[in-house]
């Protein structure tokens, strides 16, 4: 029954996405947890010598780190539901 693995995978991706969306209430929390997860994935990928996964995890870790610089309290950029949006556009 290989279709069950596809169903579980899609369900897992949706659950993780919703969980990250729920923890986005505090400045830097969602991006910080995601950065920690990317760091762990990068270490595991380096240990397994999986270059593709390592480079993807490091690229996402770098972008999250750059985003965190502007997302700590007081936040200048907010993650939002559709990506990053500036605080100036949200205050209107």
Residue 80 confidence (pLDDT): 64
55-65 pLDDT, tens per residue? Answer: 999 999 999 99
The average confidence (pLDDT) of the chain is 83
| Distance in angstroms (rounded) separating the CA atoms of residues 46 and 42 | 6
Q: What pLDDT was estimated at residue 92?
A: 46
Is pTM beyond 0.85? Reply is no
d(CA 46, CA 36): 15
Predicted confidence at residue 28, as pLDDT, reads 80
- What is the predicted pLDDT for the residue at 31? 86
Q: What pLDDT, in 10s, does the model give residues 32-69?
A: 899 999 999 999 999 999 999 999 999 999 999 988 88
| Contact present, 76 and 87 (Cβ < 8 Å) | yes
Half-sphere exposure of 5 toward its Cβ, with a 13 Å CA cutoff? 2
């Amino acid at each position: 029954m290989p279709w069950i693995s596809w169903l579980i995978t899609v369900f897992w991706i949706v659950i993780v996405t919703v969980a990250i969306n729920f923890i986005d209430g505090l400045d830097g929390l969602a991006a910080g947890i995601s950065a920690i997860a990317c760091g762990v994935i990068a270490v595991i990928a380096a240990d397994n010598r999986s270059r593709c996964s390592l480079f993807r995890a490091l690229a996402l870790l770098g972008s999250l780190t750059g985003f965190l610089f502007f997302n700590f309290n007081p936040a200048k950029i907010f993650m939002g539901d559709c990506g990053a949006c500036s605080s100036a556009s949200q205050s209107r």
